[in-house]
Structure 1
Amino acid sequence: MSHAELDALDRRILQVLQEDGRASNVELSQRVHLSPPQCLRRVRSLEERGVIRGYAAQVAREALGYPVMAYVNLNIDREHFGRVRELEKLLGSFPEIIECHCVSGDHDYLLKVVARDLKSLSQFLTDRLMQVPGVDDVRSMICMEEIKPPSALPVD
């Protein structure tokens, strides 16, 4: 999906939905100045094309008992590159890992991990993550304070 395939109305719809994902179609259509049927067609098209990947509530991790967040750099053993997709699937199965990105640079993956406390984080890293076959090196950085929480993408 290229940026050029989105016109000004698509971008406005995306902006409004990122601000208020619970807006009804009627509310959305009023805010973007389209008729409700036209607005619904555009939203469905954006969903079908994969521009809109889903809708979810943004939940404060602390409210669910996960005040500790860490970024974890992970490298895989070069001998295990043949099973990298299997390793990625396993990483995706850990509920403590809320984001996983394959990155360039000194590390292979960057993980965003939540935990109930520092001891739980240490146990997860040592007893589970570092026990995964192929995991070679794990380095963690504890998030001291969240300055800017996840936010909407720019639609310009």
Structure 2
Amino acid sequence: MPKSEIDAIDRKILSILQANGKISIGELAEKVGLSPSPCARRVRLLEKAGTIKGYAAIIDQKRVGLPISAFASIKLERQREEDLDRFGEAVSRWPEVLDCYLMTGQRDYLMRIVAADLESYEHFIKSKLTRLDNIASIETSFALGQVKRSAVLPLI
């Protein structure tokens, strides 16, 4: 579903689902002014098109024993396409990495990594990240606290 095919009702559906992914189709339909069948059809189309990528619970990382958020800036020795692809494939397999972005500027990648403690983070660096070929440097900053975190896009 191309961006131009998402209308105001779709945007309202998406906005509501971002706030409450467990809402029933009946409640969702009522909030967007549709009957349940057309609302369910729109949700299925948004899912099929990949606009809705999935549904998830938002977990408090501290309560599950992962209080450390580290932001690692990675510089590669070379930025050839195959090098970038190899790096991306490796990172995508590591559950500790929650976010990874290919960047412009001085560094090639910025990653958010969660860990139980500094020793766990050190183990991640030594056993995974530094074992990749083509890593020129790694600079890490640790979050002292979280001011805001959101997965909600400003749709309406």
Given that 1:69 and 1:114 are in contact with CA atoms closer than 8 Å, whether structure 2 keeps it comes out as yes
Aligned alpha-carbon RMSD (Å) = 1.6
Given that 1:80 and 1:134 are in contact with CA atoms closer than 8 Å, whether structure 2 keeps it comes out as no
Q: Report the CA distance between 1:84 and its aligned residue.
A: 2.5
Q: How does 1:1-156 map to 2 (within 5 A)?
A: 2-78=2-78, 81-156=81-156
Given that 1:28 and 1:39 are in contact with CA atoms closer than 8 Å, whether structure 2 keeps it comes out as yes
Which AA in structure 1 matches 2:60?
A
Could you tell me which runs of 5 or more consecutive residues in structure 1 were left unpaired when the two chains were aligned: none
Q: Percent identity?
A: 33
Normalized per residue, the structure richer in helix is 1
Provide, for residues 82-114 of structure 1, a one-character-per-residue CA deviation record: whole Å limited to 9, x for no partner. Answer: 332122111111111111111111111110100
Q: Report the CA distance between 1:54 and its aligned residue.
A: 0.5
Are the structure 2 counterparts of residues 45 and 73 from structure 1 closer, same or farther at C-alpha, using a change threshold of 3 Å? same
Partner-residue secondary structure (3-state), 1:78: coil
Q: Report the CA distance between 1:3 and its aligned residue.
A: 3.9
**C-alpha distance in structure 2 between counterparts of 1:79 and 1:15, whole Å:** 37
TM-score (norm 1): 0.93
Q: How many residues align?
A: 156
Provide, for residues 117-139 of structure 1, a one-character-per-residue CA deviation record: whole Å limited to 9, x for no partner. Answer: 11211221233211211222111
Q: Report the CA distance between 1:79 and its aligned residue.
A: 7.4
Given that 1:29 and 1:36 are in contact with CA atoms closer than 8 Å, whether structure 2 keeps it comes out as yes
**C-alpha distance in structure 2 between counterparts of 1:81 and 1:12, whole Å:** 38
Could you tell me which runs of 5 or more consecutive residues in structure 2 were left unpaired when the two chains were aligned: none
TM-score (norm 2): 0.93
Provide, for residues 25-84 of structure 1, a one-character-per-residue CA deviation record: whole Å limited to 9, x for no partner. Answer: 111111111000000111011111111111011111112110000111111121765332
Which AA in structure 1 matches 2:124?
F
